[in-house]
Chains A and B, each alone.
Chain A
Amino acid sequence: MNRRGLVSLVDAMLFLLIVSLALSVPLYLDAGGDPVDADPSTMLDDLCGARMRMSDLYPGGDGSLLPLTDMLAMDVVTGTDAALSYAGSYLDEVTGVSPYRLTLGYGDLSVVIGDEVPEPVSGASAEVPVTAGGRLRMTLVIG
């Protein structure tokens, strides 16, 4: 093969290689499908989206429907733990054996649920308004 043929071959190989790589990228990205395991941001979304009656969590509580985040903020301020226990039960179930640490901050106060996570694998943060005023800050780390 002469020089012209060799140059043409290399040119064609490079062209096709680049095109094939470009075409395979969408297929690669689509192959995995939706992950099934809940991720930290989904867990925070669930905690932020839940609306329950006070009486569901607090003995003697009234039947008014409130965002769970309102009750979590109340626990942070008052030192009660009904909503915090509920959030802990949820995270215990959904994370399984994986360690987790949820930090809740409201005003200058903060509360931690879970243990220290020595090797964090994933995490997420959220901040939601509280009906009584202010915002509840939530940071979840999973090992």
Chain B
Amino acid sequence: MRRDTAGATGFAGAMVATMVVVTVLSAYMAAAPYLLHYEGDPLIGFDTGRLTGTVEDGAFVPGYDDYLHSYLEVHGHRGVEVRAMLVGTDAPEVVTTVGGMDGEVTWKRVSALVDRDDGGKQIVVFGVGVCV
């Protein structure tokens, strides 16, 4: 193979060669934030909007059991646990666990408003733990 000393390859050849490098580089740039973020926080894919339920007779009734099962199937984690607490009441904490939690667990706290059976809306604080 002889070097193109005359520059005959021109714009098209240079573009093809550069495209390979830039494509790999841009793919890395696009994927790096997701990969870094995902590895640092296994709860990134958890949709907190699915943490719903109702308050009936002063007790919280969770409505996210199906979502926890599908979340585990999609993300392949070992287990997930949600602890729901009605703040400011004597109601016991409602714990829902799917899968196993014997391992490294990452916890986060979120809150949401849930409907009461008397027409009101009450704040529930959720502790969400994921075991990877």
Residues of A within 8 A of B (CB): 1-6, 8-9, 11-13, 15-17, 20-21, 23-24, 27-28, 31-34, 36-38, 42-43, 45-47, 49-53, 56-57, 65, 85-86, 89-90, 93-96
Contacts and interface: CB of A to CB of B under 8 A. Distances in A.
Contact of B23 (A13, A20, A90): A20
Interface of B: 4-11, 14-15, 18-19, 22-23, 25-26, 29-31, 33-34, 37, 41, 43-49, 85, 87-89, 108-113, 116, 118-123, 125, 128
Contacts of A46: 111-113, 123
A42 B26 contact: no
A118 to B, nearest CB: 22
Nearest to A2: B7
A102 to B, nearest CB: 14
B125 A16 contact: no
B120 A34 contact: no
B22 A32 contact: no
Contacts of B47: 34
A24 B26 contact: yes
B118 A65 contact: yes
B111 A32 contact: no
Given A1-B4, A1-B7, A2-B6, A36 B128 contact: yes
A94 B55 CA distance: 19
Nearest to B48: A36
Given A16-B18, A36-B128, A46-B113, 17 more contacts: A1-B5, A1-B7, A4-B10, A8-B11, A12-B15, A16-B15, A20-B26, A21-B29, A31-B37, A47-B123, A50-B123, A53-B118, A56-B89, A89-B87, A90-B87, A93-B111, A95-B109
Contacts of B89: 56
A132 B87 CA distance: 26
A5 B9 contact: yes
A36 B43 contact: yes
Nearest to A25: B30
